[in-house]
């Protein structure tokens, strides 16, 4: 039995199937964890959702595009998406009901791995982030019509305050877990910059350079940030001892066998690769994208 974490699929169903063939995935034995953004941008969101929903033993953390689908299903009038086939499918309601019951964050204390779509707020402890993720999960799962989901959209507030309540609180937590890349050392979130580390203004740092001490020894798997792995051609290094993005390769190569931060969105929907990380031995497996997948 093995556990694999798989990066952002974005509707790239064919690549997902090729990746599962490559790792000889056995649904009766193996467990799959997904970094979220299962849907949107790519060509086959509906097939991806139907497939993952049927898996016996999958862990899904929601990404911003998955939440986008929930909002669309609640009739929010967003225009810019590739989810028409999901919304028109006879099993749309079933798929959406399944999707809204997925997690925002998952921590396995035995494996000592944590998975989240985007990031962790630097001022939050492990206990805090688990509690906050659970608050959003309860909101998404509670039995209303999802119409309130539109209140999760927006970039404010950009600082955390424990006294935040209502939608401001839920919006902040959702933004951190599903959209965060950069923030300041004092905890101001930034949603303008999505490029490689170094492309941002100097006051902003990637969230993983400022992680709270309670995460010591825990490896954090995340997606969302395809630019981190851009330019890294060898996604399938046979003995992974470093994370797949450049600056941490430099930083950690000498010191650690198991990297603390594993950004595994290798940009399949942008024509690069889909990646799986085997948690038991930290080995990476990748398949190349078919072509440039993104539908404009
Ligand atoms: Mn994302």
Residue 292: pLDDT band by 50, 70, 90 thresholds?
low
Closest CA to 72 of 16, 178, 153, 139: 153
Assess if residue 140 is contained within a domain: yes
Residue 254 CA, ligand 1 centroid: distance in Å: 30
Q: How far apart are CA 11 and CA 28, in angstroms?
A: 24
237, 253 in Cβ contact below 8 A?
no
Residue 250: pLDDT band by 50, 70, 90 thresholds?
very low
Domain hosting 130: range is 3-288
Helix axes 92-99, 45-54, angle to 10 degrees: 60
Sign of the Cα pseudo-torsion (141, 268, 288, 233, in order): negative
Domain of residue 175, CATH code: 3.60.21.10
* pTM, 2 dp: 0.90
Q: How far apart are CA 59 and CA 36, in angstroms?
A: 10
Residue 55 CA, ligand 1 centroid: distance in Å: 22
Assess if residue 296 is contained within a domain: no
How much of the chain, in percent, has pLDDT values that exceed 90? 76
Residue 1 CA, ligand 1 centroid: distance in Å: 29
Residue 250 CA, ligand 1 centroid: distance in Å: 25
Assess if residue 265 is contained within a domain: yes
Assess if residue 295 is contained within a domain: no
Residue 10 CA, ligand 1 centroid: distance in Å: 9
Residue 232: pLDDT band by 50, 70, 90 thresholds?
low
Residue 142: pLDDT band by 50, 70, 90 thresholds?
confident
Our count of domains for the chain comes to 1
Tokens of 216: 């010591």
Tens of pLDDT, residue by residue over 84-140, are 999 999 999 999 999 999 999 999 999 999 999 999 999 999 999 999 999 999 999
204, 182 in Cβ contact below 8 A?
yes
Assess if residue 278 is contained within a domain: yes
Give residue 180's pLDDT.
97
Q: How far apart are CA 288 and CA 296, in angstroms?
A: 20
10, 41 in Cβ contact below 8 A?
yes
Q: Say whether pLDDT at 248 is over 60.
A: no
Residue 117 CA, ligand 1 centroid: distance in Å: 7
Residue 40 CA, ligand 1 centroid: distance in Å: 10
Give residue 146's pLDDT.
77
Determine the length of the chain. Answer: 296
Question: 253 CB contacts (<8 Å, ≥6 apart)?
Answer: 241, 242
Assess if residue 200 is contained within a domain: yes
Tens of pLDDT, residue by residue over 13-55, are 999 999 999 999 999 999 999 999 999 999 999 999 999 999 9
Give residue 282's pLDDT.
85
Between 281 and 292, where is the model more confident? 281
């Amino acid at each position: 039995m093995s556990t694999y974490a798989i990066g952002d699929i974005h509707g790239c169903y064919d690549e997902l199937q090729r990746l599962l063939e490559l790792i000889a995935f056995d649904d009766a034995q193996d467990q799959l964890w997904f970094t979220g953004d299962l849907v949107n941008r790519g060509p086959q969101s509906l097939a991806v959702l139907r497939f993952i929903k049927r898996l016996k033993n999958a862990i899904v953390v929601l990404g911003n595009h998955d939440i986008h689908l929930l909002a669309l299903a609640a009739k929010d009038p967003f225009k810019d998406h590739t989810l028409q086939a999901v919304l028109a499918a006879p099993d749309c309601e079933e798929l959406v009901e399944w999707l809204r019951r997925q997690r925002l964050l998952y921590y396995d204390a035995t494996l000592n791995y944590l998975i989240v779509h985007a990031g962790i707020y630097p001022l939050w402890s492990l206990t805090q982030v688990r509690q906050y993720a659970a608050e959003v999960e309860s909101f998404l799962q509670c039995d209303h019509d999802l119409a309130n989901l539109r209140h999760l959209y927006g970039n404010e507030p950009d600082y955390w305050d424990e006294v935040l309540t209502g939608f401001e609180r839920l919006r902040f937590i959702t933004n951190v877990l599903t959209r965060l890349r950069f923030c300041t050392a004092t905890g101001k979130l930034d949603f303008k910059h999505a490029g490689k580390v170094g492309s941002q203004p100097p006051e902003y740092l990637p969230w993983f350079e400022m992680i709270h001490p309670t995460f010591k020894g825990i490896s954090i798997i995340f997606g969302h940030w395809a630019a981190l792995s851009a330019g890294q051609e060898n996604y399938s290094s046979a003995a992974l001892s470093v994370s797949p993005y450049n600056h941490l390769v430099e930083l950690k190569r000498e010191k650690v066998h198991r990297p603390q931060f594993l950004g595994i969105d290798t940009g399949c929907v942008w024509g690069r690769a889909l990646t799986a990380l085997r948690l038991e031995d930290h080995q990476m497996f990748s398949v190349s994208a078919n072509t440039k997948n993104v539908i404009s």
